[in-house]
Amino acid sequence: MSGKPVLHYVSVRGRMEPVKWLLAAAGVEFEERILKTKDDLQKLRTDGCLLFQQVPMVEIDGMKLVQTRAILNYIAGKYNLYGKDLKERALIDMYVEGMADLYDIIMNHDFKPANEKEKDLANIMDKATNRYLPVFEKVLKDHGHDFLVGNKLSRADVNLLETILMVEEFKPDALAKFPLLQSFKARMSNIPSIKKFLQPGSPRKPPLQEKDIPNLLAIFS
């Protein structure tokens, strides 16, 4: 089957954005079907397209894949972005899972009540600058390579660039104490497939706007 992957999701970043990053980094073009109403989601459900009645869902190679991690694992494996053996995969998995924890708190930030937002933001920045970013700064320092694992581009690198850019959206100088992450960011941003994804007009979605939230809640209610 030579059709492009088809991504089914809503119009915001949410849980599909890492999938777009990975496909884009792998140089894979894809189509998007944007769910705009609850009826759109219901139709997918009644058509039997969603194994657990949830999106994201990606149609790829004759499968209707759901569950973000299953989707990402498949894409990473297919496009050789998952290390060369079990041990490299374990390293990649550890890095990616750590970043997923940070991504979750970032994603949930938009849905916090107004009076909790400031404290939540402080927690995000604390975790980013004291728990997660230092790990990757050290990894790069210890081996001196351009990429996190096995001296070769992997999903962990793509994920780290995405994470860095998201953290910088909260605090532009977030990388101030991390010189190796700064040069990592510059290098990664210049990889042709990633450079293309970072340009206007790409499938990359902007940060969530408050005005989008009521519609989102309505779709997923």
Interaction site with another protein (CB under 8 A): 51-53, 61, 63, 65-70, 73-74, 77-78, 86-87, 89-90, 93-94, 96-98, 101, 123, 131-132, 135
Locate the DSSP E strands across 61-167: 63-66
**Residue with Cβ nearer another protein (69 or 141):** 69
Three-state SS for 151?
A: coil
* Cβ at position 52, least distance to another protein in Å: 5
**Residue with Cβ nearer another protein (35 or 60):** 60
Cα dihedral across residues 47, 52, 57, 63: positive or negative: negative
Kindly give, in sequence order, each residue whose CB lies less than 8 Å from that of residue 79, ignoring residues fewer than 6 positions away: 22, 26, 28
Task: Give me 60's structure tokens.
Answer: 């790829």
* Cβ at position 54, least distance to another protein in Å: 9
**Residue with Cβ nearer another protein (41 or 194):** 41
* Cβ at position 31, least distance to another protein in Å: 19
Q: How many Å separate Cα 3 from the centre of its chain?
A: 23
C-beta atoms surrounding 188 within 10 Å = 22
* Cβ at position 97, least distance to another protein in Å: 4
Residue with tokens 């996190």: 148
**Residue with Cβ nearer another protein (46 or 123):** 123
**Residue with Cβ nearer another protein (77 or 207):** 77
DSSP single-letter state for residue 1: -
* Cβ at position 90, least distance to another protein in Å: 4
